[in-house]
């Protein structure tokens, strides 16, 4: 900012003028192509703002005031549509206009500063770069900018812009009672968060139990996968085990099958009338079917166990590599000092593996909080319960969010849940990551 004001106060008249007419100093100081580009950008921006932009931003405040209406046309015998405001489009275009404005301001600032720098350079007796030379720079010393251009544009346009749009929806009443284009929706401030977080409300009574189950699930799914995967890796790694490669291949085979395929197969196998129940019944072990996926507690256990089957191979794969890298002499000297295998595990193996995989563990935990696939393909969130609003006993926050958008079109609540999940994940991972030794003792590895 300081640089920007300096350019204005210290700049010559032409530089000052370029604060109002972009590119004019470039134009008169030898960089005329650049000057024209700047000027045309400014003109394009003003045209856009005066024709769409200002009204788009202005409408953001109310998100529309005129509802769609109809006028009866006697002659034709049908109604004629009088289009009203579409709150969703107003919000979208408003956000878009703000992005354009921000982009323009950024450009404007750099153009002004560049103008001043150009002036300084000419004073120092340097010849300004021609347009062709500048373009050549982008293939040479500015190559990183050229390469980053597409990814950054992509991220801004395809990720950040929609993200802002959806975050804003959490502060509106865009639910099933306010569906455009027939209805308008408007800002409600923090109402949705209040409805979600007050324990007595319909949504709150669902939010907290679902959140609790989400955390229980994420903790169990992550830790069990990790511990069992590591044990499996150690078992296979043990001296004296033959056919190591064969065992590893067998376990990794389950990764080769697309996850949703194995999940849907599992769903069928565990069905009330599925093969497993029929098998057990025919063998005389049970007299009535076991509700693996239709009883709340059993369904929760089934989901976690099936997740083990899917997740263990990954942990095994990762830890195998690390285990093979632990220097053998550590174990030998421990043995000489008389350490038991248990002590060896807790003093050597575990710290070693944990040091390397702590960030992986955090990612897994966050991934499990948002583990849509397992829940959706296995149980669809079921069994349904009368205690929750639009959710079942195995629903995670993310699958409940999905149901709210798809089944009941309560977009505003879904967006609210999305933000809350983000806050929970972000806070957890930041705290957890900063406490890991991989962060604290970065230098000490090995």
Residues with Cβ within 8 Å of residue 290, at least 6 apart in sequence: 276, 277, 280, 298
Nearest to 202 by CA among 3, 396, 388: 388
Phi, psi (degrees; rounded to nearest 5) at 289 = -65, 155
Q: Which is nearer to other proteins, 348 or 409 (CB)?
A: 409
Q: How far is the CB of 113 from other proteins (least distance, A)?
A: 7
Q: Which is nearer to other proteins, 291 or 367 (CB)?
A: 291
Query: Which one of 46-54, 162-170, 255-263, 340-348 is the stretch in contact with other proteins (CB under 8 A)?
Result: 46-54
Q: Which is nearer to other proteins, 367 or 382 (CB)?
A: 382
Interaction with other proteins in 150-169: which residues (CB under 8 A)? 152-153, 157
Q: How far is the CB of 392 from other proteins (least distance, A)?
A: 8
**Distance in angstroms (rounded) separating the CA atoms of residues 231 and 154:** 43
CA 251 to chain centre: 30
Query: Which one of 213-221, 338-346, 390-398, 422-430 is the stretch in contact with other proteins (CB under 8 A)?
Result: 390-398
Are 69 and 84 contacting, i.e. CB atoms less than 8 angstroms apart?
Answer: yes
Are 251 and 294 contacting, i.e. CB atoms less than 8 angstroms apart?
Answer: no
One residue of 55, 68, 120, 237 binding other proteins per CB under 8 A? 68
One residue of 6, 46, 47, 61 binding other proteins per CB under 8 A? 47
Q: How far is the CB of 419 from other proteins (least distance, A)?
A: 17
Query: Which one of 107-115, 247-255, 279-287, 369-377 is the stretch in contact with other proteins (CB under 8 A)?
Result: 107-115
**Distance in angstroms (rounded) separating the CA atoms of residues 264 and 246:** 27
Using CB under 8 A as the binding rule, whether residue 389 contacts other proteins is answered as yes
- Based on its alpha-carbon atoms, the radius of gyration of the chain, rounded to whole angstroms, reads 31
Residues with Cβ within 8 Å of residue 285, at least 6 apart in sequence: none
Using CB under 8 A as the binding rule, whether residue 262 contacts other proteins is answered as no
Are 95 and 168 contacting, i.e. CB atoms less than 8 angstroms apart?
Answer: yes
**Distance in angstroms (rounded) separating the CA atoms of residues 194 and 95:** 25
One residue of 79, 208, 260, 426 binding other proteins per CB under 8 A? 79
The label of the residue with tokens 């003093």 reads 347
Interaction with other proteins in 81-100: which residues (CB under 8 A)? 81, 83-84, 100
Q: How far is the CB of 227 from other proteins (least distance, A)?
A: 32
């Amino acid at each position: 900012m300081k640089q920007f004001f300096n350019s204005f106060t210290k700049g010559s008249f032409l530089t000052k003028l370029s604060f109002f007419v972009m590119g004019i100093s470039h134009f008169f100081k030898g960089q005329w192509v650049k000057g024209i580009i700047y000027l045309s950008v400014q003109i394009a921006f003003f045209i856009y703002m005066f024709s769409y932009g200002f009204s788009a931003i202005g409408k953001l405040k109310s998100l529309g005031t005129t509802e769609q209406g109809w006028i009866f046309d006697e002659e034709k015998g049908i109604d004629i549509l009088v289009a009203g405001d579409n709150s969703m489009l107003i919000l979208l275009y408003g956000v878009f206009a703000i992005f354009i404005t921000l982009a323009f301001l950024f450009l404007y600032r750099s153009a002004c500063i560049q103008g001043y720098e150009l002036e300084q350079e000419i004073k120092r007796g340097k010849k300004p770069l021609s347009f062709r030379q500048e373009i050549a720079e982008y293939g040479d010393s500015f190559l990183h900018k050229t390469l980053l251009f597409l990814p950054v544009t992509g991220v801004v346009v395809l990720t950040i812009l929609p993200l802002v749009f959806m975050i804003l929806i959490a502060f509106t009443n865009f639910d099933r009672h306010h569906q455009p284009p027939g209805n308008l929706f408007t800002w409600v401030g923090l109402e949705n968060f209040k409805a979600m977080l007050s324990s007595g409300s319909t949504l709150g009574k669902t939010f907290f139990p679902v959140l609790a189950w989400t955390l229980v699930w994420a903790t169990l799914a992550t830790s069990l996968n990790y511990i069992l995967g590591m044990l499996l890796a150690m078992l296979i790694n043990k001296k004296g085990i033959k056919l190591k490669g064969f065992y590893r291949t067998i376990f990794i085979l389950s990764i080769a099958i697309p996850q949703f395929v194995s999940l849907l197969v599992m769903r069928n196998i565990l069905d009330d009338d599925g093969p497993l129940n029929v098998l057990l019944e025919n063998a005389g072990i049970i007299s009535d079917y076991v509700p693996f996926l239709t009883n709340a507690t059993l369904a929760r256990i089934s989901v976690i166990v099936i997740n083990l089957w899917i997740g263990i191979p990954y942990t095994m794969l990762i830890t195998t590599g690390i285990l093979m890298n632990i220097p053998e002499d550590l174990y030998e000297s421990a043995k000489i000092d008389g350490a038991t295998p248990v002590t060896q595990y807790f003093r050597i193996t575990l710290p070693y593996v944990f040091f390397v995989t702590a960030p992986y563990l955090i990612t897994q935990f966050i991934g499990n909080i948002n583990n849509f696939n397992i829940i959706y393909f296995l149980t669809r969130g079921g069994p349904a319960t009368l205690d929750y609003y639009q959710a079942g006993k195995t629903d995670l926050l993310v699958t409940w969010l999905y149901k709210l958008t798809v089944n009941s079109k309560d977009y505003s609540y879904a967006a609210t849940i999305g933000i809350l999940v983000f806050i929970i994940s972000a806070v957890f991972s930041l705290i957890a990551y900063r406490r890991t030794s991989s962060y604290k003792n970065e230098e000490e590895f090995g």
